[in-house]
Amino acid sequence: MTVRTWVDPVDVHAVADRVEALFRSVFGGTADGVWVAPGRVNLIGEHVDYAGGLVLPFALPYVTTVAVRARDDDQLHCVSTHTEERWHGDLSEVAPGHPPGWAAYVAGVVWALRDSGTVSAGTGFDVAVHSSVPVGSGLSSSAALECAFALAVADLLGLPTDADGRFGLIAACIRAENQIAGASTGGMDQTVAMLAHPGHALLLDCSSGATRLVPIDFASANGRLLVIDTNAPHRLVDGQYGNRRAALEKACAELGVETLRDIDDADAALGSLTAPESVKRVRHVLTEIRRVSEVVELLTQARIADVGNLLTSSHLSLRDDYEVSSVELDSAVDAALEAGAWGARMTGGGFGGSALALVPADRVEAVVERVLRSAARASLPTPQFLSAEPSRSAHRLRPTSCRWSR
Ligand code: ADP
Ligand code: MG
């Protein structure tokens, strides 16, 4: 397999042309429309979402497109350029574990909207998918797929898609991923895919659900944020995620709090925990939540280069206290720092996936070269580099103006 060093964002219309072509060739005729949702990267605030913490993701200029046509029966037909595996079946039979495979992310959205009474039975969908988001790299291709399709369903069935309406869709996408696809994740990915804004990160308070847009402009400080896809698939499903969540729950019980967000005195809390492992896990969460607030403050003051130190502290905390890094992520982060990055860290759930490096513009080439060399020397997969331009949220691309009356 040849690996491209730079994965440039593909023009969204080119992605849409491809999905429409797939739709035509598989289903015949034309789709009712094409909807788009972005992948995302989390600038900082890792493994704190399920602890009621703060996260700061933004949307990437890599998107998943779905071409969708409503059907008058209860059937769902799914096809994707990503895989040969197609699925069709009855929407009334969707349940945890069914359908198996990727169609769960699509079918689960309709299941959740029906289960909450938001939509009723009687409408099915033909769905074609094409994406420029790397799949399984920790950049949230799964939420991009759910959110693009959820928006399609909402438009086609006349549900509101304004900010309020989107919160309902976000909830449906989260339930699809947790309950039907069986991936136990928090709601950050779906929230940012639905609410992101170009040029901004989205500060999400996972305790209250409150969101705030925070401007980020790395270029103004002559900086560039690189996403480094290590090409080692993130391996969250092997029990480690559940294990970390359980460790935090145990610590909360010991500390007598509902979530770690409720802790005011971090030193006292850490001092009162008995198991050394609990101390490490909780220390990561408490320090990481503080780092998110500090990064927001620095971004507000346009002190971009200073953000770098906090990114690196986040990485060390995830590596040493939370123990969710991997040899590939450490290699990329260490190499980026050696080559002059202001800061770097793993991003996403860990155990593979992607890293971020905040780099002065004149060091970009040196960082890329050093990261590649370091991976080659350790016989690791060849990393790829992606653009981290904060981009827009899910939207309908085609037709540009239209109302369906179902
Ligand atoms: P990530 O969200 O970080 O890319 P996940 O493991 O959460 O990784 O989600 C990846 C899964 O989502 C894939 O294994 C597949 O089931 C589904 N998926 C994502 N994008 C697509 C796509 N374009 N076509 C088909 N399935 C997809
Ligand atoms: Mg995912």
Which token pair is 356?
């971020």
Q: How many CA atoms lie within 13 A of 194 on its CB side?
A: 30
pLDDT digits (tens, 9 = 90+) for 15-49: 999 999 999 999 999 999 999 999 999 999 999 99
pTM over 0.75, yes/no:
yes
Ligand 1 atom nearest to 138, measured from its CA: 3
Which token pair is 309?
């130190």
149 lines ligand 1 (CB under 6 A): no
pLDDT digits (tens, 9 = 90+) for 284-313: 999 999 999 999 999 999 899 999 999 999
pLDDT at 113 over 90: yes
The CA 64 to ligand 1 mean position distance, Å, reads 10
**pLDDT value, residue 4:** 81
Region 334-342: mean pLDDT is 98
**Exactly one of 49, 126, 155, 189 is catalytic; which is it?**
189
Give the Cα separation of 92 and 122 in Å (integer): 10
Region 191-200: mean pLDDT is 98
42 lines ligand 1 (CB under 6 A): no
25 lines ligand 1 (CB under 6 A): no
**pLDDT value, residue 3:** 74
Largest CA distance in the chain: 66
64 lines ligand 1 (CB under 6 A): yes
**pLDDT value, residue 241:** 83
Query: If you ran DSSP here, which 8-state letter would residue 95 be given?
Result: B
Q: Which domains are seen in the chain, by residue range?
A: 9-214 (3.30.230.10), 215-387 (3.30.70.890)
What protein residues have CB closer than 5 angstroms to ion ligand 2? 140, 142
Give the Cα separation of 238 and 171 in Å (integer): 25
Give the Cα separation of 406 and 404 in Å (integer): 6
Q: What share of the chain is helix, strand, coil (3-state, %, to 5)?
A: 45, 20, 35
**DSSP E strands, 175-252:** 200-205, 211-215, 223-229
189 carries an active-site annotation: yes
Ligand 1, atom 15, lies closest to the CA of: 102
Share of the chain above pLDDT 70, in %: 97
**pLDDT value, residue 20:** 98
Which phi and psi angles does 247 have, rounded to 5°?
Answer: -60, -40
**pLDDT value, residue 195:** 98
87 lines ligand 1 (CB under 6 A): no
The CA 386 to ligand 2 mean position distance, Å, reads 17
Label residues 241-270 b or e (16+ Cβ within 10 Å = b).
beebbebbebbbeebeeebbbebeebeebb
User: Reading across the β-sheet that carries 6-7, which strands appear in turn?
Assistant: 6-7, 384-387, 223-229, 354-360, 343-347
Ligand nearest to the CA of 135: 1
Strand partners, 71: 124
**DSSP E strands, 187-253:** 200-205, 211-215, 223-229
**pLDDT value, residue 184:** 79
Higher pLDDT, 255 or 387: 255
Which phi and psi angles does 401 have, rounded to 5°?
Answer: -135, 125
Among candidate residues 227, 199, 78, the one with its CA nearest the CA of residue 145: 78
**pLDDT value, residue 401:** 75
Give the Cα separation of 323 and 328 in Å (integer): 14
Residue 104 — very low, low, confident or very high, per pLDDT cuts 50/70/90? very high
Region 93-121: mean pLDDT is 97
Residue of 7, 135, 188, 329 to mutate, ligand 1, most atoms within 8 A of C-beta: 135
Residue 186 — very low, low, confident or very high, per pLDDT cuts 50/70/90? confident
Region 174-178: mean pLDDT is 96
Ligand nearest to the CA of 136: 1
Give the Cα separation of 297 and 71 in Å (integer): 49
Give me the chain's average pLDDT, please. Answer: 95
190 lines ligand 1 (CB under 6 A): no
State the angle between helix axes of 103-115 and 141-157 in degrees (0 to 180), rounded to the nearest 10: 50
Question: Do β-strands 384-387 and 223-229 pair in parallel, antiparallel, or remain unpaired?
Answer: antiparallel
Query: If you ran DSSP here, which 8-state letter would residue 98 be given?
Result: B
Ligand nearest to the CA of 22: 1
102 lines ligand 1 (CB under 6 A): yes
Residue linked to tokens 């039979």: 93
**pLDDT value, residue 238:** 63
